[in-house]
Structure formats: structure tokens, C-alpha cells
Amino acid sequence: MARFSFFGEALPEIDLEELKGKLIVLEGTDGVGRSTHIGLLKQWLENHGHAVLDTGMTRSALAGKRLKQAKEGHTLGGITMSLFYATDLADRLENEIIPALRAGFIVLTDRYIYSLMARAIVRGADPEWLREVYGFALKPDAIFYLRVGIDDLVTRVLQSTGFEYWESGMDLHMGEDMYESFVRYQKWLLAEFDKMVEVYGFQPIDASGSVEEVFKELRDRVDAVVARDGD
């Protein structure tokens, strides 16, 4: 029996039996510290002798650069953006993630289909359609959901980059200014993520503590996944 499976329809020409590595997802809203923790995890895993591939949204060789530009221009519609992201993910799956899993790597991905679905659902997409479209994605071994409440999130964003157009959901015209819009938009996203906890088996991690505290818990949980017997 292959350890991996697809959510829906399979990618053509992929033999799941060959995939040996682990696919680990970090999810969470903007500003929650995902990339910091991916960096720490990578170092820690490599120190322990594991080969690691880290990847994330808009990093595909095929579509990454243009997708980032499309985001900046705010000219593409909702369905178009969802499909553009799907193209980016498919390219990374076929050319990075699956080859790495075949070679026995631990793949850490900064966001996965869940963020894409949450953001699209908030913008009015049909959840059933999204599930079908993203059905080509591999089911991960674990999804760690870094969670903080809205108040913590606001503080963190203010301390780092400030409010940003997309992270504030400004395209949705939800508030009078960026702060109001950010709060409403991120609350809504949090609600969508919270709904997914049970549906997709997220492992929530309280990310309101210090980086060290959060990392310690994350590390222990990742360790358990890595140690878990492959077959």
C-alpha cells in the first residue's frame, strides 16, 4: 500500500508507491510566524541528518514570478487567481515536492491548499469547486496550524511590516481604513481556518507565546511525524 494519496483525482503518471519522504504543512494567517518556524525547523532537521526541501506559495519556476506581479496589480478576477495559484502548486508538486518525496526528503511547505481555499472562499468562491480543482494535491502527513487571536495578530503586524493591501483584504471593501478592514478580513479567515481543523485534521498550535516556546512545541510534534514508521 502506498503511504501517500491524493485528495481527489490523481496527477497523471505518478506512482505513489515510490514516494518515501514526509510532507509537512505549516498553515496559519498572515504574520503568525510561519516562515520563521520553517527556517528553524529546516536547520534543526538538517542537524539531525534529514534532507529538507522547503517550499511555499508563488515559488514555482513556471508561474511564481508572474503570480506575484499579478497580485501586486490587483487586475485579475477571483476565479483567475485561484487557478493561477493552482498552476503554481501543480508545477511545484510535479517538479519539486514529488521528486523530493521520491528521494526521501522531508518537505516543509509554507501554506498549502488550505490557505488558498480559505482566501478564495472569503472572496465568494464555491467551496465544492475549490475542493475538486485542488483535488490533484497530495494529502500531507501533518498540517500544523499556527494560531493566534486577532488582537495578537494586530500587534504583530504593527511591529513588523504594517498593514498590507492583500493581508487587509482591501479588495473586499470591508472597512473604512486598513485597520478595520484587516481586523474583519483576518477574523473571517481565522473562522475559515478553524472550520478546517476538523475537516482536514489540522494540529492547532498556540502561536501567541515566544518564538522559542512555539518552536519547542512544533519541533516535538514534527519529530513525532518524522519518527513515525513510513509504511
Partner 1 sequence: MKMYGKHRFPGRLFIVEGIDGSGKSTQLMLLKKWLESEGYVVYFSEWNSSPLVQDVTKRGKKKKMLTPMTFSLIHATDFADRTEHHIIPPLKAGAVVLADRYSYTAFARDVVRGVSPKWVRELYAFAVKPTVAFYFRTPLDVAMKRILGGRDAIKYYEAGMDLGLSDDIEQSFGLFQARIIEEYEKMVAEFGLVAIDATRSIEEQQAEVRRIVSEALTGTKKTKVRRWLDLASLAKRSQK
CB of 74 to partner 1, least distance (A): 12
The single-letter DSSP state of residue 25 is E
Distance CA 135, CA 138 (A): 8
Among 188, 72, 202, which residue's Cα sits nearest to residue 119? Answer: 188
* Dihedral sign from CA coordinates of 91, 92, 98, 99: positive
136 binds partner 1 per the rule CB under 8 A: yes
State which of residues 123, 139, 184, 187 lies at the interface with partner 1 (CB under 8 A): 123
Residue 76 makes contact with partner 1 by CB under 8 A: yes
Determine the interface stretch with partner 1 among 58-66, 142-150, 157-165, 203-211 (rule: CB under 8 A): 58-66
Return d(Cα 126, Cα 131) in angstroms, integer: 9
87 binds partner 1 (CB under 8 A): yes
CB nearer to partner 1: give 17 or 126: 126
Min dist. Cβ of residue 149 to partner 1 (A): 28
Contact indicator for 153, 32 with CB cutoff of 8 Å: yes
Shortest distance (Å) from residue 219 CB to partner 1 = 34
Closest by Cα among 151, 174, 166, 149 to 28: 149
Q: Is 150 in the site for partner 1 (CB under 8 A)?
A: no
CB atoms within 10 A of CB 90: 17
Query: Quick one: CA dihedral 5, 18, 47, 36, positive or negative?
Result: negative
Q: Give, rounded to a whole angstrom, the gap between the first and last alpha carbons of the chain.
A: 8
Among 17, 18, 126, 151, the residue binding partner 1 under the rule CB under 8 A is: 126
Q: How far is the CB of 8 from partner 1 (least distance, A)?
A: 7
Residue ranges in contact with partner 1 by CB under 8 A: 8-13, 61-63, 66-67, 69-70, 73, 75-80, 82-84, 86-87, 90-91, 94, 120, 123-126, 129, 132-133, 135-136
